[in-house]
Amino acid sequence: MYKELEGFKVNNQFSLTVEDNLEEVCNASEGSGVFLVYDVAEEKELIMVGSTGTVQNDGTLKTKNGGLYDKIVNGHQFAKTGRKYSWPAQMKKEEISRLEVVWYETYNKNTKVIPTFVEAQVLQNFLSENDKLPRWNVAF
């Protein structure tokens, strides 16, 4: 686990296989924060980091309805379609048997850490260790 993520109290994880329905297995909250996606086939490998929620200059949080849950399930990736469709297709293409998704609320009434800041920290550490971004992160 990345040390940047240790202090967040609201967090959980779930697994996804090609046969699963992402809308049903996703247990992410409607809060704001980050999520990490791992390919857990043979060796656990971080393949993506994402976040949701934008902090405004007055300290309030701007978030889309549905928060982390909606970003994970309906956010676009690999195509102009939600992850509930594109992740299983990509898993088949890459022959990934199971994903593990770990999510953290980084900005709520008790914790105030900008989601994209945490996302950037995790990605920077990954880049420093591997000289590249996780394979499902196109750019940052």
pLDDT tens profile 72-98: 999 999 888 899 999 999 999 999 999
pLDDT band at 6 (very low <50, low <70, confident <90, very high): confident
pLDDT computed for residue 11 by the predictor:
92
Kindly state whether residue 122 falls inside one of the protein's structural domains. yes
Q: What is the edge-to-edge ordering of all strands in the sheet holding 98-107?
A: 11-17, 98-107, 32-39, 45-52
Instruction: Identify the three-state secondary structure at position 59.
Output: coil
**Residue 101 belongs to a domain:** yes
C-alpha 93 chain-centroid distance: 20
Q: Is residue 76 part of a domain?
A: yes
136 within domain boundaries: no
Residue 140 falls inside a structural domain: no
Per residue in 39-69, pLDDT (tens digit) is 997 889 999 999 998 888 998 888 777 899 9
User: CA 5 to CA 106: how far, in whole Å?
Assistant: 9
Q: Note the pLDDT of residue 47.
A: 97
Does any domain span residue 121?
Answer: yes
pLDDT digits (tens, 9 = 90+) for 92-134: 999 999 999 999 999 998 899 999 999 999 999 999 999 999 9
Overall average pLDDT of the 29-48 stretch: 93
Does a structural domain hold residue 33?
yes
Range of the domain at 91: 3-130
pLDDT score at 1 = 59
3-state DSSP assignment of residue 48: strand
Domains identified in the chain, total number: 1
| Domain presence at residue 137 | no
